[in-house]
Amino acid sequence: MQSGLYVGISSQIALERRLNTIADNIANMNTVGFRSTEVKFDEVLSKTQNDINAKVAFVTQGNDYLSTRTGQLQQTGNPLDFAIKGDAWFAIETPAGQVLTRDGRFTMDETGQLRSIRGFPVLDAGGAQIQLNREGGPPTVGADGILRQDGNQVATLGLFTADISKGFNRYENEGVIPVDNPQPVVESFENAIAQGYIEQSNVNGIGEMTQLIQVNRAFESISALMKDSESSLDDAIKTLGGSN
């Protein structure tokens, strides 16, 4: 069997998937709250037909996971901009259901409802939409997420955690819909909210460009090896055919 060709094809499929994630990361270098996608590849061993003790190593297509690095915090001075210090998420209500996001650029609509930059309602820890007093002036927020207007507590920004490693889908680039059910953060000294700040994308542009070059070179090297392997097989077939 042409095991070398099959191994090469599996490697190219894996490299193509990594190439797609790198391209997506680079495209979202300036997306507020974006967390870069990484890929974990595993080795799959397969026994050959001619020798049950011989094993051929293939590369899986890989599993996506999110980088947990925190993006740089940028001060804006806007009282409705918020950033999370820690590994928690804000939650917004969308047509696709509850979506987690690190993009804390919020606005207050004409009714006083707190909304995301795309107009979706922001949720508290209980999953309810946050309602502010339109005439109460700009809210102040403590590290614990409690929203106050005129010194009175009016709501609490919800923080949530979820095991993203179990799987997720992107929503509008900066949003994430995890397979695992999000859980509200009740009390935690590891998470805090900073008012007047936003979190930039955690994509390392130089690192991603370096990986892009490496992946392209690896893809070209594997293509050359596969071509040589196929050529050697053709030569062997011609030689064996001529000897009969």
**What is the per-residue pLDDT for 63?**
73
**What is the per-residue pLDDT for 187?**
77
The answer on 98 and 84 residing in a single domain is yes
Tokens representing 2 are 């042409």
The answer on 78 and 55 residing in a single domain is no
Cite the beta strand spans of the chain per DSSP E. 37-40, 43-47, 55-59, 63-66, 73-75, 82-85, 90-94, 97-101, 107-108, 114-115, 140-141, 146-149, 152-156, 160-161, 168-171, 175-178, 183-184, 192-195, 197-199
Tokens representing 92 are 């917004």
The answer on 129 and 24 residing in a single domain is no
**What is the per-residue pLDDT for 72?**
95
**What is the per-residue pLDDT for 88?**
95
**What is the per-residue pLDDT for 234?**
58
The answer on 92 and 53 residing in a single domain is no
**What is the per-residue pLDDT for 82?**
97
**What is the per-residue pLDDT for 44?**
45
Q: How many domains does the chain have?
A: 2
CA 165 to chain centre: 10
The answer on 239 and 221 residing in a single domain is yes
The answer on 239 and 177 residing in a single domain is no
The answer on 57 and 81 residing in a single domain is no
- Strand, helix or coil for residue 163: coil
Task: Give the torsion sign (CA, 165, 23, 82, 134).
Answer: negative
The answer on 231 and 175 residing in a single domain is no
Per-residue model confidence as pLDDT tens for the chain (244 residues)? 455 565 667 677 778 888 889 999 999 999 999 999 988 755 444 444 444 444 555 555 567 789 989 999 999 999 999 999 999 999 999 999 999 999 999 999 999 999 999 999 999 999 999 999 988 888 999 999 999 999 899 999 999 999 998 889 999 888 999 999 999 998 778 899 999 999 999 999 999 999 889 888 887 877 776 665 655 555 556 665 555 5
Look at residues 155, 141, 91 and name the one whose alpha carbon lies nearest to residue 120: 91
**What is the per-residue pLDDT for 16?**
80
The answer on 64 and 85 residing in a single domain is no
The answer on 217 and 182 residing in a single domain is no
CA 117 to chain centre: 19
The answer on 78 and 62 residing in a single domain is no
d(CA 169, CA 225): 35
The answer on 84 and 62 residing in a single domain is no
Domain that residue 77 falls in: 73-199
